[in-house]
Structure 1
């Protein structure tokens, strides 16, 4: 079969199909199974190796110091007390640092891509604070079990996200408006959290305040039974959302032209990103600035036009495990890892401000 246009005969190409091309005003999307840039592969490999090295260092340090070969032997063999120290006492903390750091890095990548703004982080927008509010509410009511606090953190985080989404909606969603509304919500939720802490008994308030700073010190394998499967499920959802996320980077019109349901995709990305933060908050408290800094560090390491999800996850894992090592061994008495990440985040914000000032 052939096609005749304007009286001319166009021969049928081999294979029986005419080639197609995108319209002049629509940039072509790369195929779904596109080739991963070599720079990104190198960056991910280097960061992954650094994660392994930092994890081994974290497993070796403590009141019962071990050499790296002893740590490896304890992980893969029976070394008596050393195996107990490594696998039962230190490994849960290291695994939590890797998984939760990756979750925070992914969440930050989702929100910064969604808002098209390097400040579009869940801790800046207020979702982490909302999850913490949920935990404080159930604690005030006397429910202190791991299940109740986990459910409260997830539910409160999602409710906070939906409220901010509705308040920021004006015939569509714009990233800048979402950030502004989120910052206002953070201020109000912080005031509510302070009020709830003042209403608690002194010992409960002190415990909640320490947990609210973000700490991995109370992590055990039992406490990870909910967090690890939930984080794995949300990471799988992130993989499914990777394609619409990349299409949204090209703009709403282009995404619509390629069949993406823009607002539905935005809402799904919002829920998954909030879920990642809520799972972390439920397990170890709100840990600030990992989700803010990890995606931008990953973007620069990979030299990517957009924010790379996989590199962001590796970077978040490395930052949190490294920050926890510093938090444990910088001073005589260990401090919450959230304090160290705040310092990292503050340095990142200063660097960002200086960079913007130099570009003016």
Structure 2
């Protein structure tokens, strides 16, 4: 036949290797896209602009120009004191807590492969609240470091209980969410009991903290969370971001692509739990930011993968925007930031559950 010929005598027949089609699904999604970068920059600008408005509001209003001058080292002594000592710590706490919750929510939703995988729904925030309440009730006038330590210990303990109840193979899907909801319900009852056992002053302090409030925050409250973000955010985003994208393909695929699943997953879980717990210690158990920020970031970027950096910046923007809304919606009556996020996030959760039901996932 045309195109075929017998091999020369004495030479073995050779077979031309066939061209196998590439399988694009075995490659992880790209790390950054122009749209994701634009969304990240836009959220950062929104967070910064709202932060400037927050600093300029209050009994002594300041225009944005005066706020920027004071932040850059200019302005008079009164403006410098008001900005750096009275108002900037609150805004820094809001930005840091929102960023920590957004990053923690993105990690949990990616590992669980479920949009309902959020620290406040999985019981981790309630565990941090138990640790803080134990610190307040037992130690009374405990400082910021003690409160942060109690939150971290309570969050890690709750995470270990959930991990033990679900098992290594249960960290995905509905089983993890249902286990977390059960643990959260138990811890909510424990927290209520701890409040009844506290003195009146400690009980009032605990109730205000449980509402999720940024009132009276100083650098001592923001310091532990800022330090944790400085250490854990690069570890999660730069160090484990690629591995997290691999884990979204499944454990078997991640193993085949060279990801050390047994080492990466515990690091990601511990980092996310610590971020959520320290955010609760700084701003109280603010609900739904960790649930909403990653989903909004994914919807805006339209990029596959966990979108860690956009979710982090989105969380910061959501937190300061909720705080601004709480201060400006009802003149003369400030709403705690946890009330605002609860009202908005509760509606979003109902919509998300309805969407999951329509697609047959629940």
What TM-score does the superposition give when structure 2 sets the normalisation length?
Answer: 0.89
- Equivalent position of 2:14 in the other structure: 8
Q: Larger deviation: 97-106 or 229-238?
A: 229-238
For residues 263 and 272 of structure 2, the distance between their equivalents in structure 1, rounded to whole angstroms, comes to: 14
- Provide the C-alpha distance between the structure 2 equivalents of 1:141 and 1:298, rounded to a whole number of angstroms: 40
Does the 8 Å CA contact 1:133/1:153 hold for their aligned counterparts? yes
Partner of 2:214: 216
Distance verdict in 2 for CA 1:255–1:357, change over 3 Å: closer
How many Å apart are 1:135 and its aligned residue?
1.1
Structure 1 residues 287-306: aligned runs within 5 Å? 287-306=286-305
Is the CA contact (8 Å cut-off) linking 1:101 and 1:313 kept in structure 2?
yes
Cα deviation code 1:243-296 (max 9, x no counterpart)? 110000111111010122324322221111101011111222111110000000
Number of equivalences: 345
Equivalent position of 1:83 in the other structure: 80
- State the SS of the aligned residue for 1:117: coil
Is 2:47 aligned against 1:51? yes
Separation in 1, partners of 2:270, 2:257: 23
Could you say if the C-alpha distance between residues 35 and 86 of structure 1 is closer, same or farther in structure 2, counting changes exceeding 3 Å? same
SS at match of 1:222: helix
Q: Which residue of 2 aligns with 1:124?
A: 121
Match of 1:272 in 2: 271
CA pair 246-203 structure 1, distance change in 2 beyond 3 A = same
Residue segments in structure 2 that go unaligned for 5+ positions in a row: 1-11
**Conserved in 2, the CA contact under 8 Å of 1:231 and 1:279?**
no
Structure 2: distance between partners of 1:98 and 1:104: 10
Partners of 1:148 and 1:22 in 2: CA distance: 58
Q: How far apart are the structure 2 equivalents of 1:24 and 1:324?
A: 47
Per-residue CA deviations over 1:160-197 (Å, capped at 9, x if unaligned) read: 10110110016553332111111000000000000110
Other-structure match for 1:108 = 105
Whether the 8 Å CA contact 2:96–2:225 is kept in 1: the answer is no
Residue 5 (structure 2) aligns with? none
Give the TM-score normalised by the residue count of structure 1. 0.89
Aligned match of 2:8 = none
The 5-angstrom pairing of residues 183-332 of structure 1 reads 183-239=181-237, 240-331=239-330, 332=332
**Which SS does the other structure have where 1:141 is aligned?**
helix
Gaps of 5+ in 1: 1-5, 12-19
Residue equivalent to 2:336: 336
| 1:35 positional shift | 6.2
User: Which residue of 2 is the match for residue 15 of structure 1?
Assistant: none
How many angstroms apart in 1 are the aligned matches of 2:177 and 2:306? 18
Q: Distance in 1 between matches of 2:248 and 2:71?
A: 43
Query: Which residues in structure 2 correspond to 1:90-101 (within 5 Å)?
Result: 90-101=87-98
CA deviation after TM superposition for structure 1 residue 338, in Å: 0.8
Of 51-60 and 105-114, more deviation after overlay is shown by: 51-60
SS at match of 2:223: helix
Q: CA RMSD in A?
A: 2.4
**SS in structure 2 of the partner of residue 321 of structure 1:** helix
Matched position secondary structure for 1:8: coil
Q: Distance in 2 between matches of 1:38 and 1:261?
A: 29
